[in-house]
Structure 1
């Protein structure tokens, strides 16, 4: 497929492989992607089970991100399947269970391959229901078919998602799409079936030329069961009664058993589609079709073919097969071959254009690859043939992955904290959630996620207890300190800053000073990056941070990130009085301009670096260390002026303004509050500070 002077196909394949490695399509980065996304999946699952007390849903992440088959340029989103466990889907009457709603999968000639219907069964005996009143909760979601069977409509899946999605979410049929989060995702509710679908059982026994997948892999796939998604076959007579059979977990297993060359073929196919087809005919050919074609090619060829030196030959094979599928308007599902993925997708109007594009790609003998702008693949390939080595992007990929984990954990922590905050007894609720969390039987990535989530909860509990102690006894109990200590090392600064703040509020200035010195010593400004759920960081990350992310996995969270420090109102006595005003930033008028994402405005939240220097200033003031106090004030000012990634710059300016007031520099203080209001006109405590400052000035005159 690729011909260039003085180069064989093998040499060209090796150069192409080097380019793909440079943009992160190599074994190390694929495994790094998978590890990060599986960790996020585990964190979401534990949040549902423990923090949100929602045992109905079990989330699964699917798609190119968790498969490790994407690049920065492809910018693939994530598919989340929310497995709804309220109903039991069965394929055999012997699997019926009493006391719950059983749904029988109907897979006869009345439905297209890859689809089924769901018949509602009685809860007291293994028999079909005959009347709607037998299932009052499902009455609006059922319909009687021509055979008199009461079947479940696929619109139920849409109803199971919230009817009024949050800001940043868009509904697309049975799915919800997010473009306002730590990462973009498509979320769909599905019903689980723990047994392998009848339509797929022939696949378990068929033999392949390449002896792939192995019997062991097939056995694992079979044990994963399937999902039923609320989408019917387009154009079907009873489309609203059909449910699509999804073997996503099995396909994820298949992807995890591909070698590097096979993964690279898939990535190149997606790049070709994105570069040459999508600009004209977007979504005519999906990445799922490309994956399916790849599976068929691997199954029907000898495994020895799939080597790095044969990358271009393997890619040619995949492209030719995809062309044939388009020509025949038939792309058979890999596991359920009767399901044609291209049915209704290739219209007579667009078919000639698609075929023409692929013909030109095939006839180019590989030169088409030079036209791929995604990840600058074409330019990079040209440079490789000229013996010029372009920069690798692995560091940027590693930064993105760690940022995803950090933001995701911060969001999960904020969401369940918000749920706990509104509880009438946050201390007992926190203790119960921590107990629930540590009682989970976790292994592998699930245990890693637990170890990342639990300490954050422990610090929160310790802080709430300490606030109560300080209010009542002006000291901190041993119990509170023990809980706080469990979460001191979740990141570089935030947990320790909370402890220093508590000590400051109890007058233990020297102990607090020691902790702050330790934080500053470990807060390497060339490495450590701030993270906050309320802020989308657009600045380029530090080179030291990038290098550390590339060297480490989730442990870099502890060594190179600094979360914002947050105080709930029930933690108010752990916070300096200057920061407490942030809890009252919103007037009734301001609240009308808040969204559901702004619940954090009821708390006091500040960047770690800002809080570090502010506490240093206050403690040095109490210890009468004038030189150190001036240095801390200077560092606080410099941070506000020069740190590009401050999430709460308006809060930092409010704190600086109060420091200026303490220094009797009222004009500078007023300037700080004015700058703060320029950043955030509403829901800003600067209004309180300006009113107080003006009142003081007037009264003094």
Structure 2
């Protein structure tokens, strides 16, 4: 099979180079994995600190590093409810947990189970039915229906199998959230399959041992061929699968990516009811079987085309047999009930056109312009006549995107933690934050490298919040700042390139210490390199229009702990910090009318806060401090810089707030017409939940009076 013409060797090498050019290299794969594993670690730490009995796992192609920009892969998150536990034997019943007994028998589909509800005070069956979710079967058992997912589906989302799916938006990938219950131990069928896989050297004994230590889950979806689909829960070994993916070599990863591109280009296309009958998970499973059954020596760069053909032919045999066995449970057919006879014939016809898979098939792949790139590599077409992004541009795009996503995710996790304390007293808020710092200290001392990095990124944010909360109370009492507040604020100064120091400057302004405020602001401005420093927002998914080359180049050299100094988080003041906020920005805490609140989503927790992007807030504070110091020339320079920042910084997430601040500066300048224009522009950007409406009314009232 592997004795092929020399030109296959040449095509394989050129194909490998093309994949290198679009970011499929060992270095880029590792950076993707590190980024998403860091986000996963941040979520775990904040959940633990908040007392949330849940663990998030970011799975799928994004976290595996098996994607490209053109594939536009979803971000898959598995949210494990740790308050539940699925047991297989009564002896595993655990006090303090919501215990569910796994039932597998001749009536359940392979790879699926039923969940019987047990009492939480004793290892006995529960007997209470409720809301068509906990339902009694013919044997008197209370079974848990997976239709509970439909009852808690957030507005604007839809159910896809076991997941809650959010559609892709301009500039953003779609996301899937799967709620899972953890199993006490692996099901016997899956353990037996792993033990039997002794052919070849993959997976290795070490990989098998590690896979067995990972958690196993059940997720809410039934088999398509089951008569009890609403009652069945699918067994998920996704963490063990991630272990196998992390142990593939770069050639195998490239082949998996090529399979997904072929799938999108030739198989899952129109006239099959727009449904993906062959999933990327099936391709992954096929790759696992090929890696386990073929010699390890064949998986090398010069043999990519041959290995790709092995995988395509294996997939074709699965379609022909109507059976793609799950790698960890061979009785579980991933194709069961998914492919009708008509569709099967269509799929086989399309597959026949791909076997053997040669350069002609690859030339037709438009994803990441792979086909054109390969033809250029083979000197078949001239690059001059084709708009092809160069390798450096692809690399910069991927790395800056990862950094923005990771830092924004960290900010978002932290902000959700703080928001969860909004109804607590100041003393309780401080207690929770101090508890978080104790958690971070423990993780930093005892944790692995990723946990140490997570702690270094979270701790300054926590210190700044503690200092700002204490300072707000100080200002309310006597308009001064205690040494304790200063100590906390100084401990948090390196959270990022600007936001924590802007909070300190804002506090100085609110206490009337204008000289110190100006000193801090000028220091921030000196260090804020507008050609490199990137605004990052953790409030919502704001569209990024432009990638700064300088930022991308630094991302290539350093990890998140160092690069954080050239990103500027938005400055967020929670309601309890209101005394640290200039009057002009305080309005933002009251942006929402009752009607607006009805249109707010569950992720819009920032709406109750005063939030501004760092760069415009820097120039606004400079304008106000120079005004108080009666330094009109510098005041005007700051106003010009504020207008320049709003007009030229493309990636501002809170541009409407910056325009509201600029409008109030215009009012101070006695330019009411310009002020109203600023507020109108602000409303165009954000029609609802925008205090610009109030500013317009107030400004018009002032003009009339």
Segment of structure 1 superposing worse, 242-251 or 587-596 = 587-596
Q: Partner of 1:219 in structure 2?
A: 209
Partner Cα separation in structure 2 for residue 647 and residue 297 of structure 1: 46
- Closer/same/farther in 2, CA of residues 138 and 377 from structure 1, 3 Å limit: same
**In structure 1, distance between residues paired with 2:366 and 2:113:** 41
Call closer, same or farther: CA 1:670–1:101 in 2, change over 3 Å: closer
1:287 maps onto 2:280 in alignment: yes
Q: Partner residue of 1:578? A: 584
Gaps of 5+ in 1: none
Gap change, CA 1:569 and 1:192, over 3 Å in 2: closer
1:379 to 372, 376, 395: 372
* 200-209 or 503-512, which deviates more: 200-209
Deviation at residue 433 of structure 1 after TM alignment: 4.0
Q: What residue is the counterpart of 2:505 in the other structure?
A: 500
Deviates more, 1:59-68 or 1:427-436: 427-436
* Counterpart for residue 159 of structure 2: 171
Q: 1:592 to 1:215 in 2, by over 3 A?
A: closer
Query: 1:673 and 1:285, CA in 2 relative to 1: closer, same or farther beyond 3 A?
Result: closer
Q: 1:187 to 1:11 in 2, by over 3 A?
A: same
* 2-structure distance, mates of 1:206, 1:590: 59
TM-score with structure 2 length normalisation? 0.91
CA RMSD after TM alignment: 2.8
Q: What residue is the counterpart of 1:457 in the other structure?
A: 462
Aligned partners of 2:453 and 2:561 also within 8 Å: no
Which digits, 9 at most, give the CA deviation of each residue in 1:225-255, with x for residues without a partner?
4211222222223334432221111111011
Q: Deviations over 1:525-554 (max 9, x none)?
A: 111121222452241222222222233331
| Equivalent residue runs for 1:235-254 within 5 Å | 235-254=225-244
Q: Tell me which residue corresponds to 2:75.
A: 78
Q: In the alignment, which residue of structure 2 is the partner of 1:414?
A: 415
Q: How does 1:665-680 map to 2 (within 5 A)?
A: 665-680=671-686
Q: Which of 91, 111, 116 is equivalent to 1:114?
A: 111
> Contact conserved, 1:2 with 1:367, CA < 8 A, in 2?
no
Instruction: Give the superposition deviation at 1:54.
Output: 1.6
Give the C-alpha shift of residue 342 in structure 1: 1.3
User: Which region of structure 1 is more displaced relative to structure 2, 442-451 or 26-35?
Assistant: 442-451
User: Contact 1:167–1:596 at 8 Å: present in 2 too?
Assistant: no
Q: Partner residue of 1:186?
A: 176
Aligned to 1:606: 612
Decide whether the 8 Å contact of 2:666 with 2:674 is kept in 1: yes
Local SS of the residue matching 1:339: strand
Residue 307 of structure 1: which of 300, 313, 324 is its match?
300
Q: In 1, Cα distance between the equivalents of 2:173 and 2:45?
A: 19
1:72 positional shift? 0.7
Per the alignment, residue 638 of structure 2 pairs with: 632
TM-superposed CA distance for 1:74, in Å, is: 1.0
Does the Cα contact within 8 Å between 1:569 and 1:603 map onto a contact in 2?
A: yes
Shift of 1:101: 4.8
Structure 1 residues 82 and 162, CA gap change in structure 2 (3 angstroms): farther
3-state SS in 2 of match to 1:621: helix
Paired residues of 1:492 and 1:523 also in contact (CA < 8 A): yes
Whole-Å Cα distance in 2 between the matches of residues 239 and 690 of structure 1?
A: 56
Aligned residues: 687
Q: TM-score, normalised by structure 1?
A: 0.91
> How far did residue 555 of structure 1 move?
2.9
Q: Which residue pairs with 2:55 in the alignment?
A: 58
Q: Which segment is superposed worse, 604-613 or 452-461?
A: 452-461
Give the superposition deviation at 1:79.
2.1
SS at match of 2:425: coil
Task: Report SS of the residue matched to 1:476.
Answer: coil
Q: Deviations over 1:659-696 (max 9, x none)?
A: 23333334433433343344444443334434444444
After alignment, is 423-432 or 533-542 more displaced?
A: 423-432
Find the aligned partners of 1:165 and 1:666 in 2 and give their Cα distance: 46
1:231 aligns with 2:249: no
Does the 8 Å CA contact 1:420/1:430 hold for their aligned counterparts?
no
Shift of 1:288: 0.7
Q: Which residue of 1 aligns with 2:28?
A: 29
The answer to whether the 8 Å contact 2:129/2:142 transfers is: no
**Alignment of structure 1 residues 508-657 onto 2, 5 Å:** 508-532=513-537, 533-534=539-540, 536-555=542-561, 557-657=563-663
Shifted more, 301-310 versus 174-183: the winner is 174-183
Identify the range of structure 1 (558-567 vs 249-258) with the bigger mean alpha-carbon deviation. 558-567
Alignment of 1:309-324 (within 5 A): 309-324=302-317
The SS at the match of 2:151 is coil
* C-alpha distance in structure 1 between counterparts of 2:432 and 2:96, whole Å: 31
Distance 1:366 1:682 in 2: 52
Alpha carbons 1:2, 1:12 under 8 Å: kept: no
* Aligned: 1:394 with 2:395: yes
Judge which range, 560-569 or 381-390, deviates more: 381-390
1:634 CA drift (Å): 1.2
- Which residue in 2 is equivalent to 1:258? 248
5 Å-filtered alignment, 1:428-467, equals: 428-440=431-443, 442-467=447-472
Moved more, 262-271 or 382-391: 382-391
8 Å CA contact 2:546–2:651 kept in 1: the answer is: no
Q: 1:33 and 1:12 mapped to 2: Cα distance?
A: 27
Once the two structures are superposed, the pairs formed by residues 472-491 of structure 1 within 5 Å of their partners are 472-491=477-496
Give the corresponding residue for 1:469. 474
Q: Gapped runs of 5+ residues in structure 2?
A: none
Query: Residues 676, 302 of structure 1: CA spacing in aligned structure 2 closer, same or farther, 3 A cutoff?
Result: closer
The reply to whether residue 275 of structure 1 matches residue 265 of structure 2 is: yes
